[in-house]
Every structure is written in structure tokens, then in C-alpha cells.
Structure 1
């Protein structure tokens, strides 16, 4: 019996892109970060390390690139560093195309709030719930498309990006789903809301790279998009703590 991955929907994965002008300009009224000298980019080699971010990249994005982390931080309402607390089932949507659109939820425990975290009811107890596409479903001959299951399971995400992994997230509260929800997924704590990350909105620290501590090589890796897509400013920090210190110096601190 044949098994073939089928991409259920790319549109839902794009969710809420940041409102910005080409080149990463901020919205009117947004905080404008201090200008600094152009950074020197560290070496960056995609795919080398212990994290497998390929599971996060099931959809391609067409988006205005933010040229620096502080530009993105100025436009997103929530910015925080923390660790992956685990993974759980997310909502399942009926897009009307036959196959259902499955999601997973990355649970992030905030350790360093930078913007919009403290006092936000949708982040109870410092836990953030980030909705991500679960990717392709597997077609099965003779089985209705609505019953096709995701190619990657929640356990696959947990293995590829395990609990304890450090990350920095640029987020906004996810708007109402565009399509009917056939299954809400695992329940969230009272008051919690799903969050959405823009294409450059997840930056992870690869523990293998961090342990090696190679001079001139960054331990950071982009989640939904390659870190290098934003240019030199995104490659100027050797680890997550260095990037967090940089954002604090730019005025993002709670």
C-alpha cells in the first residue's frame, strides 16, 4: 500500500506575518532601536549540529526580510528567551481541500522576558504556546483524505528539537483560525492563547555547536527560516545569551 507525503496547506503556516516595509522598516509609532555599526558576520553552516530544524520548514515563505533582530523585535509585541518545555498536538483545520491541516504546539518556558511578557494574561506562568504547521500528511490508497495522518508525529518534533533547547522567540497572539477547527488539539491552561511566529521569529541555540565553542562560528540556527536570510546582523552573535544581551542594549528589557 503506497505512502506518499502530501502537503496539506501552506497558507495556514504563514499565519501572521509582521507588518513592515521592505528592508525591515518598523511601523509608525513602533520603538526605533538604536543604530549601531554594521556587525561582522560569524561563520554559519546550515545542517551541522544536533538540532533538526527541517521539521519546522514544511512551508516556504515569501516575506519582507528584517535586516536585524532589533528591527523585528520593534515590530513584534512579544519577545522572550527561554527553553523548549515540550510539544503537544495543535489544532486541526478543515481547509475544504480534502486533507486536513494539522498543527503542533511548541511549549516554551520563558526565562528572560524582553518585551510584552509580564502581565500578559495569554502567557500564564511564563509558558508560551507557539502554533506551528505539522507539515505533510501521508496519503493512503482507499482511505478518505480527511483521515490521512501527518507524516511527522509530535514525538518526531520532540526528538528533533528536544526539551531544554534554548530559543529566542518573536511572537504575536495568533488571530482566529481562517478555517473551521475539527479538533482543537491538546488543551491549554486557563487564559493561555496560541502564539504565532513570523518567518524569522524563532532562533535556537544548537547545544552541540555551543559545546564545541568554535571561534568564529555561531551556535545559533534559524527555525522557520535560515538565520542567514536576514544578513550579517543575524550572524553576529556566538550564542543565544550574546543575542539577548544585544537586544537588552537596544532597549528591549522587562
Structure 2
């Protein structure tokens, strides 16, 4: 029995090439490492679990410009993680698993009040769970994700301070769900964030911070990907204060 990591989207691409080559190898999944990540300091949070893919995207050079363009902006703490849906990638292929980040809102900055998709002051953000483990003894749709919900909790634990720029996922954009995952409360909607859409305060960096160093880290992308304005706030309170100074407040 062979078992190794296989990203579902890579398998989809390889399937399309199978007519040209019958010997294309399956590559193990590796988290994408942006070139700007080298500028990041290492703390206690393991954001690499959130950086499993990369794509072209619109870069916002300041937090306030991004906040102005997004329908929802919230500050809060991680409330926990739960299993999200598993979605069909292509016929006969492995499923694409989502893990759901729960954020308890402590500062509703934009688009929160009166929003029916936010239940119990929590938002539910669907994130790519990463590669699945190939097991040749099973059909591809039964391969399981290499990273578990517990792995995400260990990497980014409950209580971590966080700022998010989410929006609801349209029901037509979720795809063909094969496994529903843990149910959400009545009325709550799964949300998504863009590459710059998560900022976390790293307790390890906060403990060792000196001088002009920041305790903030980007979730899906390094903060420096957006420019120096993202690294000017030194903690989440300063980032929230900056947004409020630019009129982002409810």
C-alpha cells in the first residue's frame, strides 16, 4: 500500500494530461512559500497550514483600503475550528476538504450589525484544508486530508487575536458537496477571505517584541505582501485603532 500527500487540484491537472503521458508521477503536496515570507519573524503561530496554495490577486497596500473594499470587517479571537464540507474536485478524483475557522467578534468594525448571516456573534470562515493522503487501497474520493481539525487548533489555537475581512460564499459557488461537515447554527453562512484577509497577533512575537517590531502576522499571505503600511501597527489593538481613524467603525 502506498500513501503520500496529493493535492486535489494537482490531480485534476494531471488527469487532463493523462492522454499525453501515461507515466506522469504524482507529486507530494508542499505548502506554497511566498518570496516575501523570508521577512517574517517566527513566533508561536504556525500559519503555514493556511498557506497551501497561491494565486494572483488584487493587492491592497493599506489595511484601510482593503477594509473600504470589503463588506465585513471584524476583530475578535479564534473561537475554535471545525470540520467543513468536502467538495467534488473532478469525477473520480479526491475530494477537496475545507476546515472552518470560527471567530468570536469583539470589535464589529463594518457590516456586522443586522447581518442575518452572522449568528451568535460568530463568523465561520471556510479555508482550504490542504492535501489529501493517497491510499491506493481506497477509491480516491475516500482519501482523507493529511491535516486534521486538531492540527489547525494546535497551530492557531483558540483565544488567538485575529482581524478578518470576510464575505459570504454564494451557495452557487461552493461546488458539489459530497460530505457536509459540521452543521452551522441556523442562519449562519460560510464565509471566505481573500489572501490578505486574515491578520493574527502572535503571542510568541508579542512576548519577544522589542523596539519597533510587530507581533502581527498575515494568515494566508505575509503582511509584507501588501507593503509597509501593514507592518506599521505593532499589535491588533493598534491595527483596529488605525482602521477606526480611517472611518472603519460601526
Q: For the superposition of Structure 1 and Structure 2, which TM-score range results when normalised by the shorter chain?
A: 0.7 to 0.9
Matched, 1:173 2:171: no
Structure 1: runs of 5 or more not aligned: 11-43
Which residue in 1 is equivalent to 2:15?
Answer: none
User: RMSD of the TM alignment (CA)?
Assistant: 1.3
Aligned to 1:37: none
1:185 maps onto 2:181 in alignment: yes
Determine the structure 2 residue equivalent to 1:31: none
Shift of 1:9: 3.0
Structure 2 Cα separation of the partners of residues 128 and 88 of structure 1: 12
Q: Normalised by the size of structure 2, how large is the TM-score?
A: 0.85
Cα distance in 2 between the residues matched to 1:63 and 1:158: 27
Which of residues 113, 119, 124 is equivalent to 2:108? 113
Q: TM-score scaled by structure 1? A: 0.84
Kindly report which structure 2 residues correspond to 1:20-169, keeping only aligned pairs within 5 A, or say none: 45-46=39-40, 48-97=42-91, 98-169=93-164
Q: Which residue of 2 aligns with 1:13?
A: none
Provide runs of 4+ in structure 1 moved above 6 Å: none
| Match among 181, 190, 196 for residue 192 of structure 2 | 196
1-structure distance, mates of 2:189, 2:51: 23
CA offsets, 1:122-162, max 9 Å, x none? Answer: 11121000000101001012221111000100000000000
Tell me, in whole angstroms, the C-alpha distance in 2 between the residues paired with 1:228 and 1:61: 16
Counterpart Cα distance in 2 of 1:58 and 1:213: 28
Post-superposition CA distance 1:47-98 (Å, at most 9, x none): 5100000000111121121111011101110001000000000011012150
Name the CA distance, whole Å, in 1 between partners of 2:42 and 2:175: 37
Deviation at residue 46 of structure 1 after TM alignment: 2.1
Paired with 2:5 and 2:121, the residues of 1 have a C-alpha distance of: 36
Q: Deviations over 1:188-208 (max 9, x none)?
A: 011000111011000000011
Tell me which residue corresponds to 1:212.
208
Which structure has the highest helix share of the two?
Answer: 2
Give the Cα–Cα distance (whole angstroms) in 1 for the partners of residues 236 and 243 of structure 2. 11
Q: What is the alpha-carbon distance in structure 2 between the residues aligned to residue 56 and residue 47 of structure 1?
A: 17
Instruction: Please give the alpha-carbon distance, in whole angstroms, between the structure 1 residues aligned to 2:245 and 2:64.
Output: 10
The number of equivalent residue pairs is 221
Superposed CA deviations along residues 179-237 of structure 1, whole A, max 9, x for unmatched, are 21111210101100011101100000001111223211110000011111000110111
Segment drifting more, 45-54 vs 131-140: 45-54
